[in-house]
Amino acid sequence: MRGFPVIAAVFLLSLLMAVASGEWLLSAQGNWQILAGISLLIAILSLFFNVSGAVYLAEGEGLDPNVKMLGKNAKIGKLAVAIPAYKPDIEVLRRTVRSIKKLEYPGKMEIFVLDDSENGKEVAALCKEEKVGLIQRGTREGGKAGALNALLTETDAEFFAVFDSDEEIVDSKFLLETMGHFEKPEIAFVQTNKECRGDGVFEKASNYTNAVFLNRVQPMNARKGVALFTGSCGVLRVSALREVGGFPHSLIEDIAVSLHLLWKGWKGEHVAKVYAIGAPVKKFGRFASQHMRYIAGVMELLPEYAKNVWKFDFEKKMIMLVHALGLHYVSLVQIGACMVAVLAALGGQQAGEVASIAYLFSSFASLILLARIYGGSISVGMMAYLLNFSILIPRIGASIARILGIRNFGNTALFFFGILQLGIGMVLIYYLISIGSIACGWWGILFLSNPAFILLRR
């Protein structure tokens, strides 16, 4: 029952920025009316985005987990469990392997570590000790997709489960409660919820930021016919994978293979339950790199979206378009809102300053409210708020870099984007000091979150 009050509260908070921008538009003169109109457009778009997010979170809270137990008379196929690894922590990998060995499954199950490390002697020794399979390609061609395809070409299994090398099983019924979905011949994969450990505010916030999409939005989208395999903690049908040529050599091979399957007429399911927990995200570099790779990978897939999205009904089409363009939209809206604040401040537009503060306050208050209700912590919400803006320039930069043919988003790229955000942040803080613009100062703090995280969470 708390869903409606939360949605109503987010709507009223978001309406505040639209009203402030509307009042600016009514009072503005000359060319300032154009800027006020842009501010109002941004406010309306943000209102829609905030309320839609609140609706998804509310609907996802009471969602049935969608567990599908294996039937007593179900045909049990052979299953291969893949653990892709690259320079893994050996003891962490050992715990992962041992936890997977405890999975309950009435059929035949084989476990394989897919090790792409340059020197894999320790991994080989571990696999021998634990009596599990090992594939070492001697190359990193294709990354994780290449490693998974290597196993795909060798196994005679009917099903293919994937876990990351730092994910430890916490519920041994993973296969018993997901494999029942494959009794429907059109189901190509079953994805489950994903979580990371971590007791600190940073670790919890990074987990919350990712889990909102993985564990709240995706279960809802799956019910509407647009499920996604998200890289691990899932099971796939081998015949479906082979039909689409295996995992694409993409920056986001998981999303890419999901879409290839969807576009071929296959379907997926999402079981909204946690069966494995990954290592905590302790370093900002890891968090930022994940997001840079993700948005750059989406850029790679845009031509395929444009070619295939039109064959689906309106609701599925909208879900796929939001998935393809959502992060770009969020990034551009935020940049646009910042530019409005700067121009209004430089032009002495007091109504514009009020509208900009209203935008920042509404966005901040909405996120904090949702994080408190659905994440259980105001401090986690505040950290998630800063994390969102800390990757603003990296997200845009990664998109542009991918257009230019760049696929590497490591520490060098993060440092470069950090310098850009530092410069922008310092300019905005200068405007706070020189012309007293609170909105510019607020934006400055948000931009400075990136270099701050780089220094404090190396």
pLDDT digits (tens, 9 = 90+) for 371-430: 888 877 899 999 999 999 999 999 999 999 988 888 777 788 889 999 999 999 999 999
pLDDT at 67 over 90: yes
CA distances from 156 to 109, 110, 114, 176 (A): 11, 10, 16, 21
pLDDT-based confidence at residue 238 (cuts at 50, 70, 90): very high
- Is residue 321 pLDDT above 70, yes or no? yes
Residue 274 · residue 171 · CB < 8 Å? yes
Distance CA 51, CA 370 (A): 11
Rounded Cα gap, residues 94 and 316, in angstroms: 41
HEC states along 190-235?
Answer: EEEEEEECCCCHHHHHHHHHHHHHHHHHHHHHHHCCCCCCCCCCEE
Dihedral angle at the C-alpha atoms of 162, 166, 171, 176, nearest 10 degrees? 10
- Domain boundaries along the sequence of the chain: 3-62+317-456, 79-282
Residues 199-214: tens digit of each pLDDT = 899 999 999 999 888 9
Q: Distance (Å, rounded) from C-alpha 98 to C-alpha 82?
A: 13
CATH topology of domain 79-282: Spore Coat Polysaccharide Biosynthesis Protein SpsA; Chain A (3.90.550)
- How far apart, in Å, do the first and last CA atoms of the chain sit? 42
Q: How many CB atoms lie within 10 A of CB 271?
A: 25
Residue type, 254: D
Q: What is the pLDDT of residue 63?
A: 84
The pTM is what?
0.93
| Structure confidence at residue 3 (pLDDT) | 80
In DSSP terms, which residues pair with 429 in a beta bridge?
none
pLDDT of the residue at 407: 79
DSSP 282: -
- 436: exposed, middle or buried (C-beta count within 10 Å: 0-12, 13-18, 19+)? exposed
136: helix, strand or coil: coil
Positive/negative CA dihedral, 23, 46, 375, 62 = positive
Cβ count near 89 (within 10 Å): 13
Q: Are 68 and 269 in contact (CB under 8 A)?
A: yes
From residue 48, alpha-carbon distances to 209, 280, 321, 405, 449 in Å are 19, 32, 15, 34, 26
Helix axes 411-435, 314-346, angle to 10 degrees: 50
Decide if 355 contacts 36 (C-beta within 8 A): yes
Strands (DSSP E) contained in 258-356 are 267-278
Query: What six digits make up the tokens of 366?
Result: 């909405």
Under 8 Å between Cβ of 212 and 144? no
Res 183: pLDDT: 93
List Cβ neighbours of 63 (8 Å cut-off, separation of 6 or more): 219, 220, 223, 272
pLDDT tens for 346-357 read: 999 999 999 999
Residue with tokens 């009042």: 23
**Residues with Cβ < 8 Å from 312, sequence gap 6 or more?**
320
Buried b (16+ CB within 10 A) or exposed e, 289-306: bbbbbbbbbbbbbeebbe
The pLDDT tens digits for 256-315 are: 999 999 999 999 999 999 999 999 999 999 999 999 999 999 999 999 999 999 999 999
pLDDT average, residue stretch 224-249:
96
* The predicted structure's pLDDT at residue 70: 86
Q: 430-447 pLDDT, tens per residue?
A: 999 999 999 999 999 999
Average pLDDT, integer, range 247-254 = 95
For the chain, give percent helix, strand, coil, nearest 5: 65, 10, 25
Instruction: Specify the pLDDT at position 61.
Output: 78
* 134 close to 205: Cβ distance less than 8 angstroms: no
pLDDT value of residue 445 = 97
Q: What's at 400, amino acid-wise? A: I
